[in-house]
Amino acid sequence: MADMKKRRLGRTDVMVSELCLGTMVFGHQTDEPTAHKLMDHAVNSGINFIDAAEKYPVPMQEETFGRTEEIVGTWLKARGRRDDIILATKITGRASNSYVRRDLQVNGEVRIDKRNIEAAIDASLKRLQTDYVDLYQLHSPDRKIQAWGRTSYTDPGDAEETSFLEQLELLNGLVKAGKIRHIGLSNESAWGAMKFLETAEQKGLPRVVSIQNSYSLLDRLLETDVAELARREDCGILAYSPLRHGLLSGKYLDGVRPEGARFTLFGEYFDRLMTPNGIAATERYVALAKKHRLDPSVMALAYARMRPFVTSVIIGVRTMSQLETDLGAANVTLSDEVLGEIEAIHKEFTNPCP
């Protein structure tokens, strides 16, 4: 494999690989020894960017909360390669949850406020067995948002929200303390990201360097607004779910449910993506890939990697064979013919799986 290219993260001096290793399944679908082997192979193949979150693995369960960070932490300690890795993790955003920092919740909700941020980063650093993380991301905003399939606007009313200024001041405290290097967002809108950037500029606070949002052939909603912001403001997109939870690999077509796969184990969480249009679009994309002698997963990942607003594509794998396949996307450039046919399918089946 040729050397994996790297791109600048926002306006920082941090260079991250075009493919990032996602760890969302570590600790549930993927056990610790296998996860360590996957991280070994990813790093040896040129990936220097690893993404985690305090609430992983997903689906969230009280007994596994934080387990993914623990697995990444044992790997970092065993390999002694902390300085070779750009390490990212996330604090849980606003949510109704019965077990995440019970004693710090506000009206039954986890919040992004002083007590939660301080508790969350300290717990993450302990699990990751490191003194700092390179990128600390807000997993979702501290306000009511449209996300995870909710495409109709819901008025948040007068719900109390932690201000953008307060959040940045709290995160700035973590930067000054040496616990984090840079700040990122996730599941964020263009308006929310712009408010963070505007507030940082006005108040001399750290600038947000990235936005980690869903992006795939089946969900290109961010192209309507967030993509423009990313390009004009040098705020890198970290594209998660580029295979839409494995759909674009084609492995679920014709009603197949492979053993150990996400839809097989957790269908109640992800079946909202199994729409008639989503299945039809997937069939077309898979057929297009095969027509051009491409692996469907490689085509989908290469498409995301080639987009001018994308900094890094997060690949989530549970097996070595999946990792080997996905790594192949690092050096594939799709032809104009393939790109044109992708656009034709997108025009017919526009964002069927948001």
Which residues carry out catalysis? 56
3-state secondary structure the chain: CCCCCEEECCCCCCEEECEEEECCCECCCECHHHHHHHHHHHHHCCCCEEECCCCCCCCCCHHHCCHHHHHHHHHHHHHCCHHHCEEEEEECCCEECCCCCHHHCECCEECCCHHHHHHHHHHHHHHHCCCCEEEEEECCCCCCCCCCCCCCCCCCCCCCCCCHHHHHHHHHHHHHCCCEEEEEEECCCHHHHHHHHHHHHHHCCCCEEEEEEECECCECHHHHCHHHHHHHHCCEEEEECCCCCCHHHCCCHHHCCCCCCHHHHCHHHHHHHCCHHHHHHHHHHHHHHHHCCCCHHHHHHHHHHHCCCEEEEEEECCCHHHHHHHHHHHHCCCCHHHHHHHHHHHHHCCCCCC
Contacts of 247 (CB under 8 A, 6+ apart): 218, 273, 278, 282, 353
Two structure tokens written together for 313: 């594509």
Note the residue count of the chain. Answer: 354
What is each CA distance from 203 to 9, 14, 206, 235, in whole angstroms?
A: 22, 23, 9, 18
Sign of CA dihedral 13, 19, 21, 22: positive
Tell me the C-alpha distance between 124 and 108, whole Å. Answer: 22
Two structure tokens written together for 290: 């095969």
